[in-house]
Structure 1
Amino acid sequence: MRTLGAYVCRSCAAGVRRSQAPTRSASSLAGDRHKTSFSSFFYDNHRWAASARDALPASSPVAHSVRGHSVGAVYHPEGTAFRPAEALTPRKLARVYVQLAKGNLTVLVVLTAMSGVAMCPLPASLPVLLSTAVGTALCSASANAFNQIQEVPYDAQMARTRNRPLVRHAISPLHATGFALATGLAGPALLWTMTNPVTAALGAANIALYAGAYTYLKRKSIANTWVGAVVGGIPPLMGWTACGGALLPSSLDSFHLVLPSFLGSTPTAVADAMLAVENPLAPLALFLLLYSWQFPHFNGLSHLVREAYAQAGYRMLCVLNPHKNALVALRHALLLVPATSVLMPLSGLTTWAFALTSLVPHAVCVNAAWKFYRQGGEKQARKVFHYSIWYLPVLMGLMMFHKRGTDWGSWLGLEQGETEQGAGEEKETVSEP
């Protein structure tokens, strides 16, 4: 027993001696540094400058921390741990610009804006169509670039965003800011010149909402998701106004309701379609489609990456209340049914046949959202996200197919053949003695 006690005492004494050794922990090293500024998140490699390397011997240890422990690292000039960034060729720079603009998201924004152009009864010339697409893309690129400039410290903490251009130092913050400013000025200017001031104002408002309110609220309140949904609902309105559609009613007569034929509505498809230009219910239906669609789409995705949002400190509903996150997705999946299947034909955008055919994609997505709400698992969240991807183009395709005033027979050449056949029969009747 005495030998064991002596051994324990010697072990304790050795531990005390080690704890009193003049070693510097990670916390003490952090305390010696100057207060971290925002710019240090972008470039903190000045410590490896040539002057700093020359001042250190080849075997001089550089202390850094790994999981809270102080570790001595040896700097080797011939090593490949620190290498200069590659020069930006025009091709690489273009790729960086696409990443700053979040190319996939920008393409989706342009497609949704084109849905507003397609559903507007008024014709659109080719210059207006192209300028709307390019102007919307520039506005989206600016908003996404400003968003990444502000979120570099937080993107670096998330696995799915740590490879963005500013995080990996592929481009300087000043260069990225210049790109954001150039696209942010060019987009509204192009829309103002080629379309109208209302469309340009909507594009500028989208930049301010996304790069300002939405980005700020992501770390402050769960309301950021609702603000982001408004941002997603504006592009169809830009396409609608670019063709001359109105957002606000000019008079009470503008609220023209197109009822089904069995309720006494007269079959004046072309007249009802033209009345939709002044009907504020038409742009409201386009806005609600993209607004409510955002919640099943984003809430399902955010549930899958909620750990990353929590690590970066974002106040997301999927982190703070996963059950309510699924409930909100279900609510808006249900809201999409009256917002599209009822409001669109009622406003004159589509025929009432759209109310029947659109029930199929609605039923599939509502069923997936219901299972996500009841079970709350990652499998159900992934289904909601995947279903929302094909749901939007399918619904837009049905809207185009059932667009009021569109004569698909003349497009396919069916009516022309029937007309020629009828004219031939009439000619034979006249030529008979």
Structure 2
Amino acid sequence: MLAAMPPTPPVAESRPGASDRDRGGASAAGREAASGPDRDRGDACPGALRLHRADDGALARVRLPGGLLTAAQALALADAAERLGDGRLELTSRGNVQLRGLAEDAGAELGALLRAAGLLPSETHERVRNVIASPLSGLDGLGSADVRAWARELDALLCASPPAAGLAGLFLFVLDDGRGDVASLDADVTLIATPGGGALLRLGRAATARRVAPGTAPAAALAAAEEFLTAVRAAGVKAWFVREAAQLLDPGAEPLPVFAGGAPELGPFGGGVVAGTRFGSVTAAQWRALAGACAGELRITPWRSVVLPGATAVGELAAAGLRLTPGSPWELATACTGAPGCAKSLADVRADAARALETAGVPGLPVHWSGCERRCGHPAGEWVDVLATGSDMYRVTNHRISARTTHDLTMEQMAQAVAEARRTN
């Protein structure tokens, strides 16, 4: 459980397009007009009903607040992937699930399947239900609260709030049970549970927080999001994220705790099993193995692993090709979709990344392969950036450490450069 500390800068965080001036909040007395980017184009973030057209077919993103779903809902998603998509499911960095390879006219049938499974409680709010929660909450005796209840309450409040429908499709809520595992993620609104049922509420990247009374945490999170919408509307600013309008909001004066960060270790633990994936991509058969191994509930983590409460069938999960051993080169290794699924990608980055991890892979810092300059899905904090510059060429950069860059590397050189960069202390 986290202890309150004197005000210190939060763990370095990153989101595509962020700059140093975006970090931190502003005092109530010193608020100024927001200077965040003007959002002239519409929010094109995909959802379960608004499909995104990709090179490999349409893509649907199903929001799972808190990463929570029942075994029956998981099986429904596997059926949808096989019936309507390419037979695979993708886990995202917000604990959601994507289906790919859909026909352009699959939206109506997919919507009906999701409604029947209880995965589409609101058609008007389905894209704004981005809620990450501590994945081991209530299972291992750590933390100050079981934030699953917060996730469910916040989801209901979001869906019942007409203003909340105006949030961007990437606006993010994070619910940390007090252990500090998800509090360091780059969220717009973060709740950190405190002893006695209360919480600290952090806005964007503010260095301080607001104190929240016991029993009011989910309502306070929604109120903060609505406050953001009201503030940017009054200022005439087209901001999607809190960090773009930090000067308009009062961050509070409570000291923030130190954020421990970190994904749950793979393999068995006292309350079940944590199973890892390769780049968050699983087959329908692997998905069914996960659903069959749990005790009725699955929890998708922002690190693209799956927590299976009550599970014991480690052998069956390993036989299905899921990762159950900590400390492998695949730990904290991510990649964008790449070619052929994305037209903007200059390389099949997932295939190249897999070869690099298997030939010269070492565990260490997070590493992310990107097929283009957008760097979709890259992690926050310290990470190794591997950017495709051509079909067989890459550029490797240490972000937030030495900023040392190696240019135009071949596949073999890239693998060695990544291994060296991940070892950096």
Higher RCO (CA < 8 A, seq sep 6+):
2
Q: TM-score, normalised by structure 1?
A: 0.23
Q: TM-score, normalised by structure 2?
A: 0.23
Q: Which has more radius of gyration? A: 1
Larger strand proportion of the pair: 2
